Amino acid sequence: MGAGIGGVGDLSAFRVYAQGIKTIMRKRIMRKIIVCLLFCSATGPLALARDFEGSYAVYGAGGENCLLYTASMKKGGKEQDYFTDWSIGYLTAFNVIMPSTYDVLGETEFSATQSWLQRRCEKYPNELFITAVIRLTEVLHPMRYQSSLKKPAQQGKGQKKPAREKPARKKPARKKPVQKKAVQKKTAGERK
């Protein structure tokens, strides 16, 4: 009776199989935790790709100061396009390079990121534009889409908490408060 279908032999084989699955799952979870910890430690104030001195090469508009960015946004035209196009390229590269990132903007409108950068650059006019954009991605990262299913990132253990300063978002229209009506219970005789 022990070796047949539904017998004791099948139960012990199932237990061995279940133990194997548990071991595999534990290893996968540990790998994910290690990757998450490495990612979180690397996405602090310093960016990932830097040399041994903490320096990196900057091309294009990223090397300009925020004062020039602010002036170009007010002026418009090609100067504005120069910074806007550069920031679009930076955000696209961020999506490509960062793990578990489909879209760093998440539900945030691009125009809201431009407003955020404008405020940041007005506050720190001598800061390099790339530094302002890096700060923007630090703010956006916890709200990113992790996959093309467009679900926001889940705030879990090991993830950085969102920075205090957030890009402006469109506020949803306020709904009128719903007044709850008192419901009276009817007795069995009143229901008929």
Span 111-165, pLDDT tens digits: 999 999 999 999 999 999 999 999 999 998 888 888 888 766 665 544 444 444 5
Instruction: Judge whether 22 lies within some domain.
Output: no
Q: Is the CB of residue 159 less than 8 Å from the CB of residue 142?
A: yes
Q: Record the tokens describing residue 55, joined without a space.
A: 């320096």
- Other CB atoms within a 10 A radius of the CB of residue 80 amount to 16
Q: Is the CB of residue 86 less than 8 Å from the CB of residue 61?
A: yes
Instruction: Judge whether 76 lies within some domain.
Output: yes
With 60 as the cut, is the pLDDT of residue 179 above it? no
Mean pLDDT value across residues 88-109 = 89
Q: What's 93's domain CATH number?
A: 1.10.890
**Dihedral sign computed on CA atoms, order 167, 173, 174, 179:** negative
How far apart, in whole angstroms, are the C-alpha atoms of residue 176 and residue 160?
36
pTM: 0.55
Instruction: Judge whether 105 lies within some domain.
Output: yes
DSSP 8-state class, residue 142: G
Instruction: Judge whether 123 lies within some domain.
Output: yes
Q: Which of 16-20, 62-66, 123-127, 145-149 has the lowest mean pLDDT?
A: 16-20
Q: What is the pLDDT of residue 29?
A: 66
Q: Which of 37-46, 70-79, 152-161 has the lowest mean pLDDT?
A: 37-46
- Other CB atoms within a 10 A radius of the CB of residue 187 amount to 6
Q: Total structural domains in the chain?
A: 1
Instruction: Judge whether 39 lies within some domain.
Output: no
The domain containing residue 135 runs over which residues? 56-143
Instruction: Judge whether 2 lies within some domain.
Output: no
Q: Which of 19-28, 101-110, 168-177 has the lowest mean pLDDT?
A: 168-177
Mean pLDDT value across residues 44-69 = 75
Instruction: Judge whether 179 lies within some domain.
Output: no
With 60 as the cut, is the pLDDT of residue 192 above it? no
Q: Record the tokens describing residue 129, joined without a space.
A: 């534009």
Q: What is the pLDDT of residue 158?
A: 43
Instruction: Judge whether 187 lies within some domain.
Output: no
Q: Record the tokens describing residue 105, joined without a space.
A: 């903007």
The more confidently predicted of residues 4 and 55 is 55
